[in-house]
Amino acid sequence: MSNKKIQIVFNPASAGGKAKQKKEKLINEIKYYFGDGYTFSETTPELNATSISQHAIENGFESIIAVGGDGTINEVLNGFFRNGICINPDVTLGVVGFGTGQGFAQSLGLPRDLSSQIKLIKENRTRSVDIGKIIFENSYLPKFFLNEFQMGIGGSLNKTISPYTKKILGRFAFGFEAIKTLYSYEAEELQLFINGKTINEKVIGVVVANGAYTGGGMRLTPNALLNDGLFDVLVIKDMTVTQRYISFSKIYSGKHITLDAFELHKAKILEFKYQNGLLLSSDGELLNRKCVGIEVLHSVLNVISNN
């Protein structure tokens, strides 16, 4: 990778601000493997990762390295597109996981320690993965996700979880927030069109997954594959409070999918109808527009990986 133009996008706010504390160690590791052969940019409230990535790709950079959590990776991914169109399909994405959940890093099978992740980027072995395209009502420009899209309780968790909780609890933050939310969360009506049939259900949530892991190690869709051209779609039906907590105890092992309240599908395209109050999130980032559908884009992104 030494001859490539490399843009590193660092989010100091990742993991509730813990990433900022490790910036010096990060830069030392990068210099060890890359010398001065890279450009380092830091996100700010005025300059997000999407803008940095778009600018870099339009100026000939060939590899974009996202340093942060799932939200940072999501912003970087959306920087690969301008007006809904991929700027350069040959650009590769690298990931250094610094966030709270690190769902995509786990789904991709990346090593946990910083040095090993940067060494992997230096080796530059890539694989093609699918991405999800989110279609909004009123012809708004689409957005894209790498790991998972959630409706209902997943969106609610991403709205209520605080940077302080992320900083103190790390990868356990989402589990802690889920335990609080499960007690009082009210199920919502959803109409889902999938594989030629219509599902009308009162749901706690829906997970449209590309990857097998989310939320600090939760295995909501344990059999999902990043490059099979299909989403794993988990419909979580309404349950009593007791059933909710029994189910939650199984989501880290993936054994919840055997329970009656969980309905699992595989699909390339989905369409939705729901009331405006339903909260949505994409790779942990809240969405503020109404989604009417999602489709998979098969093997369109080259990601640095060890498998």
Q: What is the tens place of the pLDDT at every residue in 239-261? A: 999 999 999 989 999 999 999 99
pLDDT value at residue 284: 87
In this prediction, residue 139 has a pLDDT band, given cuts at 50, 70 and 90, of confident
Pairing assessment for the beta strands 126-136 and 143-145 based on DSSP bridges: antiparallel
CATH assignment at residue 103: 3.40.50.10330
Helical (H) or strand (E) element with 151: strand 148-152
Residue 103 counted as domain residue: yes
CA dist., res. 38 & res. 16, Å (int)? 26
CB 11 within 8 A of CB 68: yes
Q: Do 167 and 252 have their domain in common? A: yes
Q: Do 161 and 224 have their domain in common? A: yes
Q: Do 89 and 154 have their domain in common? A: no
If you average pLDDT over every residue of the chain, what do you get? 91
How large a percentage of the chain has pLDDT more than 90? 76
Q: Do 165 and 231 have their domain in common? A: yes
129, 158, 188 - which closes a domain:
129
CATH assignment at residue 241: 2.60.200.40
Residue 304 counted as domain residue: no
* Residue type at 273 in one-letter notation: K
Residue 140 counted as domain residue: no
User: What's the pTM?
Assistant: 0.93
Q: Do 242 and 201 have their domain in common? A: yes
Mean pLDDT (whole number) for 163-167: 72
Rg (CA), the chain: 19
CB 99 within 8 A of CB 68: yes
pLDDT value at residue 101: 66
Q: Do 100 and 221 have their domain in common? A: no
Helical (H) or strand (E) element with 167: helix 163-169
pLDDT score of 2 more than 60:
no
Residue 134 counted as domain residue: no
pLDDT value at residue 16: 76
Q: Do 152 and 277 have their domain in common? A: yes
- Residue 10: C-alpha distances to residues 65, 124, 136, 164, 253 (Å): 8, 19, 29, 20, 32
Q: Do 286 and 149 have their domain in common? A: yes
CA dist., res. 98 & res. 271, Å (int)? 33
Q: Do 295 and 167 have their domain in common? A: yes
The per-residue pLDDT for range 258-274, each reduced to its tens digit, is 999 999 999 999 999 99
User: How many folded domains does the chain comprise?
Assistant: 2
What is the span of the domain harbouring residue 83? 6-129
Q: Do 149 and 122 have their domain in common? A: no
The per-residue pLDDT for range 177-230, each reduced to its tens digit, is 888 888 889 999 999 999 999 999 999 999 999 999 987 789 999 999 999 999
Q: Do 154 and 295 have their domain in common? A: yes
Q: Do 46 and 188 have their domain in common? A: no
Mean pLDDT (whole number) for 17-34: 90
> Which of 9, 7, 2 shows the shortest CA–CA distance to 88?
7
